[in-house]
Structure 1
Amino acid sequence: MTEERGDVQELSDFELAVYEAVAEIDKAGGAADIGTLTAQIDRPEEEIWAALSHLVSANHLHSTADGYTLGPHDWAP
C-alpha cells in the first residue's frame, strides 16, 4: 500500500524551499522545528506555517512531536 501525495508541480517556489529545508534536516536524521526553519528561511513565520500546512496536507511532509519530517518519497537519501 502506497501513500498518496500531491503533485510537486502544484507547489510554489516558496513551498519547495521550505520542503528542501526540511529535507536537509531530515537527511541528517532530525526533525525540522519552526524555530530552526524561521532561522534558515528569511520569511515571516506565518508564511512558513502556511507552507508547512500545505505540505502536510499534500502528504509531502509529516508533522511529529519533534517537528516536521519528509513524507513518502521515491528518491534515495
Structure 2
Amino acid sequence: MPDEESLEDVQEMTTADMTVYEAVAALNTEERPATAAEVAEMTGLPEDDVRRCLAGLAEGGRLVPKGDAYVLGTHDWGLEY
C-alpha cells in the first residue's frame, strides 16, 4: 500500500489518469466495479491506454482491482454525481 503522502499528491496524475479515475468513480457511484472496456467507452480513450492507467492507479493505491474490474481505493471525501 502506498504511503499517505503519495495519495495526497494529485499533481502526479496525468490527464488520462484523472479521466480514467473519474470514470471509475462515476461507475462506482452505481455500486459497480468498472472494467477497462467500460472506461474506454465512457472516456473515448484507447483501451490499451485505459488499462495502463488502471494498473498505475491501482499500483498507487487510488484504485483496487476486483476480478477484471476496479473500484475506488481508500479516500476521505464524498462523491456527488
TM-score by length of 2: 0.82
**Which one has a larger percent strand, Structure 1 or Structure 2?**
2
SS in 2 for 1:73: coil
Gaps of 5+ in 2: none
What is the 5 A alignment of 1:2-21?
A: 4=3, 6=6, 7-21=9-23
Gaps of 5+ in 1: none
2:31 corresponds to:
29
TM-score by length of 1: 0.86
* Alignment deviations for residues 38-75 of structure 1 (CA, whole Å, 9 cap, x no partner): 21121211111111111001100000025110001110
Distance 1:66 1:58 in 2: 18
Moved over 3 A (4+): none
SS in 2 for 1:23: helix
Identity of aligned residues (%): 31
SS in 1 for 2:33: coil
Counting matched residue pairs gives 75
- C-alpha change, 1:44 and 1:66, in structure 2 (3 Å) is closer
RMSD: 1.6
Worse overlay, 3-12 or 62-71: 3-12
What is the 5 A alignment of 1:62-77?
A: 62-65=64-67, 67-77=69-79
* Alignment deviations for residues 16-39 of structure 1 (CA, whole Å, 9 cap, x no partner): 010000001111111001221121
